[in-house]
């Protein structure tokens, strides 16, 4: 009798669980259960290191953390822009803000940056790996593979190098007087292109797939010691698209297809605090899980059309 009932119920139970996962209802339930009163969280005494902090998502994250009193270390190649972001962060209420020149494609630069961060803050509680570059070009139009190598150096190794040098310090972090986080946290800004494969992005897609694979593996290795969060935003309205390889003549963007960096930063900060494994940001992002269940011809069409709608390269 029990086995007969189980056989009848199990397919329906699996179907319900599948729908819950595809629509991200499990994530939604987790957030509801862990939701805090709607007061601004204090990040006083929390030490946060952000790569790619001179503009766009990185600068916006820094400013939102600053408004909550965090101690910040920001790194990027453009020191002038970093100084400008630093001034804004201090005006917004950052307890401290240090900036250092950083080329994430250089292992030595990343090593020195983490050393500078540890010297400035003594401990690293949250490491946010945000530096990256994009690409909008057909593979058969590439004269050589220099840009592919560059994207892998910046997007993949530019996240792995700082992690490698920060990890020993983060594992020893005492987090004295830090109540807002239970354990140290690493967050990497990846992309929906790390989950799917839109055209004109062979280099970008491969670098982000590598990022997702590496940090999901690291997340399991560090379970219970350091939280690892992979952030996979949809299109965010920054200068990122215009600065991509292949977009030298500019891009045409439909703003309604994008979220603002402020919207993304707010969601990212909550996901990092809660220790979410993978943040797909919004309902559209979470619903995209269904693409893996569709016939290839249909998922290819949806991915291609979505890609074209976000930013068209001018000819």
Q: Are 234 and 261 in contact (CB under 8 A)?
A: no
| Tens of pLDDT, residues 38-49 | 456 789 999 999
Cα-based distances in Å from 203 to 48, 132, 239, 260: 29, 12, 19, 25
Q: Are 240 and 196 in contact (CB under 8 A)?
A: no
The residue among 230 and 175 whose pLDDT is bigger is 230
Torsion of Cα atoms, 87 then 106 then 190 then 262, to 10°: 10
Q: In the Cβ-directed half-sphere of 102, how many Cα atoms lie within 13 Å?
A: 33
What pLDDT is recorded for position 286?
64
Average pLDDT over residues 145-162: 95
126-129 sheet: strands from edge to edge:
96-101, 71-76, 47-51, 126-129, 185-189, 227-231, 278-279
Q: Is the pLDDT of residue 37 over 50?
A: no
What pLDDT is recorded for position 285?
60
Active site residues: 204
Q: Model-level pTM?
A: 0.84
What pLDDT is recorded for position 173?
81
The residue among 137 and 248 whose pLDDT is bigger is 137
| Tens of pLDDT, residues 263-294 | 999 999 999 999 999 988 766 666 666 777 77
What pLDDT is recorded for position 97?
98
| pLDDT tier at 111, thresholds 50, 70, 90 | very high
The rounded distance, in Å, linking the Cα atoms of 306 and 315 is 19
Cα-based distances in Å from 135 to 138, 206, 240: 9, 11, 10
Identify the bridge partners of residue 220 per DSSP, sorted by sequence position.
none
What pLDDT is recorded for position 265?
93
Residue 97: phi and psi, rounded to 5, are -150, 115
What pLDDT is recorded for position 6?
56
| Tens of pLDDT, residues 186-196 | 999 998 887 88
* Centroid of chain to Cα 17: 27
Q: Which residue has the tokens 């993949």?
A: 156
Question: Domain residues of the chain, as ranges?
Answer: 43-248+258-286
Domain 43-248+258-286 has CATH 3.40.50.720: yes
| Tens of pLDDT, residues 206-241 | 999 999 999 999 999 999 999 999 999 877 766 665
């Amino acid at each position: 009798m029990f086995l007969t009932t189980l056989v009848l119920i199990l397919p329906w139970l699996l179907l319900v669980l599948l729908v819950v996962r595809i629509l991200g209802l499990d994530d939604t339930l987790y957030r509801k259960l862990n939701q805090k009163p709607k007061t601004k969280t204090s990040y006083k005494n929390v030490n946060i290191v952000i790569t790619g902090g001179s503009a766009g998502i990185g600068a916006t994250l820094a400013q939102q953390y600053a408004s909550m009193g965090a101690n910040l270390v920001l790194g990027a190649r453009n020191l002038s822009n970093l100084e400008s972001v630093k001034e804004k962060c201090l005006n917004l209420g950052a307890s401290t803000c240090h900036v250092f020149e950083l080329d994430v494609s250089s292992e030595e630069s990343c090593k020195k940056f983490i050393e500078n961060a540890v010297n400035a803050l003594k401990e690293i509680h949250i490491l946010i790996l945000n530096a990256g570059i994009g690409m909008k070009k057909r593979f058969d139009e590439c004269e050589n593979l220099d840009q592919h190598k560059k994207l892998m150096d910046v997007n993949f190794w530019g996240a792995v190098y700082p992690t490698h040098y920060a990890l020993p310090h983060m594992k020893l972090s005492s987090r004295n007087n830090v109540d807002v986080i239970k354990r140290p946290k690493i967050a990497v800004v990846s992309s929906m292109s790390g989950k799917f494969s839109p055209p004109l992005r062979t280099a970008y897609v491969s670098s982000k797939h590598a990022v997702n694979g590496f940090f999901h593996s690291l997340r399991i290795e560090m379970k219970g010691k350091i939280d690892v969060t992979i952030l996979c935003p949809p299109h965010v309205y920054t200068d990122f698209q215009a600065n991509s390889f292949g977009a030298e003549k500019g891009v045409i963007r439909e703003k309604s297809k994008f979220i603002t960096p402020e919207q993304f930063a707010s969601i990212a900060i909550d996901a990092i605090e809660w220790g979410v494994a993978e943040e797909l940001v919004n309902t559209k992002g979470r619903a995209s899980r269904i693409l893996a269940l569709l016939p290839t011809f249909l998922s290819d069409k949806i991915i291609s059309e979505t890609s074209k709608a976000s930013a068209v390269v001018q000819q």
